[in-house]
Chain A
Amino acid sequence: MSLAPAPTAATRSIRERLLRRGGERAAADRAILVLHDVTKTYPNGKTALRDVDLVVPEGDFVFLVGPSGAGKSTIIKLLIRDEIATQGQVVLDGHDLAKLPRRAVPRVRRKIGIVFQDFKLLPTKSVWENVAFALEVTGTPRRRIRPAVDRVLALVGLTAQRAQIPSQLSGGEQQRTAIARALVHDPRLIIADEPTGNLDPLISWEIIQLLLRINELGVTVMMATHDADVVTALRKRVVALEEGRVIRDEVGGAYHRAD
């Protein structure tokens, strides 16, 4: 999906662009994620998000940027339904998350693969077991687990390390394991919350390359990050948050607002 990249053009929301192309229905149909007028206020009174509008079409690569406390983590929590929006709608792959009964939540979570800054691997399980874990605990029959795990390990390049446990791996290898685990379900959307936060610049680039490759395969990727160099270099879609509001949403954007 190629969109006008001009970084100095006036900011236009993706939503407007799609609306012009094919109408509201088309925009919604091809969107993997829609946030409509979303506000989130926590019980302690803090408003983490205000009137957020966001449409992510399938296949997009989106950077979510902003200072700490801007609301990036809150958006991610809303997407995995750890929290529910105080106002507005969050629609993931056609499912209105607020209306989902609790029992349906795990199934929807399997459409998303999540990658964290601290990897969140099980320390006593090997690479292979960590990835297989995601399929085991969701009831996949054993005969389907083996080929699926082998496939994603090959994709992230960890086939040789399959028997090692996290303490024997480098930071980059651990993150690749986490990415493999996120992928093993065949999700439509990968959410990465500061995936390169604990990694040095060279390894960070490897991880980004991996995510880009995954995106090319058709998986939507949404990445929250502080890494200004990466964002600016790639000129992908940038959604900038500040104090809970979307202040910028442009394709081909740099980390900082261009003046």
Chain B
Amino acid sequence: MIGFVAFSLRRAWQGFWRNALMSLAATATMVLMLLLLAGFWIIQTGLLSALDFTESKVQVQVNMNVDTTPAAAEALGEKIKTLPGVAGATLITREDALARFQQSMKDQGREDLSKYLDKNPFPPSYEIALTDPSFAAPVAAALQPNQNPAVRNVLDTKETAKNVKTVTDIMRTAGSVILLVIGVIVLFIIVNTIRLAVVARAEEIEIMRLVGASDAFIRWPFVFEGAMVGLLGAAITLLGLYLLADPIGGFMVDFFRVLPLSFGSLARDLVIIVTSAGLGLGVLGSWLSVRTYLIR
């Protein structure tokens, strides 16, 4: 058994270098395909981060009556935090709200209109962050004025939350589908490239068949060669990605406006994905290609 494996590995090594041009062509194709796969994976990761970020922005805003006492406000805040789906609640006092408004006007370069008012029109409010936009409706329902004396109104964000959720769900699904389609395309291209390399060795395979080599003896050196192509391609791809790590990080921040906080895990995921894709595609490609010669 050991002898057989050693024999196959030796033949694979010899085969790889004797047919160097074809092997390098297959490896180059593998590198391109793996870069494509890695690129889409990076985009997918960025997309999901951005979607999570967007969803976290959906809030419920509860306006309280202007004359609400601090104690009553605090009681309401406690109640809000016990509701399911609430990630946190921030109290915005009347003064805070006015200051925000004035800052916002200034940022936009507009005149501060509030100076024309003799009293602060802004009510105290709670800004409630949700764990998931789908909780917007139940949380809003639980905080309606008829059940809570301190509440003046709840801003209706139902439609907004629903729309955001729909869009983000669609984008998640689309992202997965695209990744799958890319994966299938990559598979086809790799398998065909390796098949070309095997076809070039058709006569060698024919002779092996005729002198009575068993299927395993014919197949395994080619499968190991495919693995070599895959691993070499993966190594080159990962090296390329490493060298491009800074530009990629910059791209993710600029395009998705997301800090690559999970960069460490992204890097680890990429290593796993690129290596296993390279190895898997190389082995699969060779196995399928040689199979056509062994069917008889």
A106 touches B213 (CB 8 A): yes
A106 touches B210 (CB 8 A): no
In the assembled complex, B3 has its CB within 8 A of some CB on chain A: yes
A110 touches B212 (CB 8 A): yes
- A119–B99 Cα distance when bound, in Å, is 94
Chain B residues within an 8 Å CB radius of A122: 203-204, 207
Q: How many residues of A contact B (CB 8 A)?
A: 23
Pair count A-B, CB < 8 A: 54
In the assembled complex, A236 has its CB within 8 A of some CB on chain B: no
Q: How many residues of B contact A (CB 8 A)?
A: 19
A82 touches B296 (CB 8 A): yes
21 contacting pairs across A/B (C-beta < 8 A): A82-B296, A103-B214, A106-B212, A106-B213, A106-B214, A107-B214, A109-B210, A120-B207, A122-B204, A133-B211, A134-B211, A136-B7, A137-B218, A138-B211, A138-B212, A138-B214, A139-B4, A139-B7, A139-B214, A139-B217, A141-B3
Chain A residues within an 8 Å CB radius of B215: 102-103, 106
- A205–B44 Cα distance when bound, in Å, is 72
In the assembled complex, B206 has its CB within 8 A of some CB on chain A: yes
- A120–B202 Cα distance when bound, in Å, is 12
CB contact list, A108-139 vs B, under 8 A: 108-110, 112, 114, 120, 122, 124, 133-134, 136-139
Chain B residues within an 8 Å CB radius of A103: 214-215
B207's nearest neighbour on chain A, judged by CB, is: A120
In the complex, per-residue mask of A217-236: 1 if CB is within 8 Å of any chain B CB, else 0 = 00000000000000000000
List residues of chain A with CB under 8 Å of any chain B CB.
Answer: 80, 82, 102-103, 106-110, 112, 114, 120, 122, 124, 133-134, 136-139, 141, 181, 185
List residues of chain B with CB under 8 Å of any chain A CB.
Answer: 3-4, 7, 18, 203-204, 206-215, 217-218, 296
Task: Give the 10 A-B residue pairs with the shortest CB-CB distance, closest first.
Answer: A109-B212, A110-B212, A137-B213, A134-B211, A106-B214, A106-B212, A137-B208, A137-B217, A120-B207, A138-B212
State the Cβ distance, A114 to closest chain B Cβ, in Å: 6
A181 touches B211 (CB 8 A): yes
State the Cβ distance, B201 to closest chain A Cβ, in Å: 10
- A120–B208 Cα distance when bound, in Å, is 11
B4's nearest neighbour on chain A, judged by CB, is: A139
Chain B residues within an 8 Å CB radius of A185: 211-212
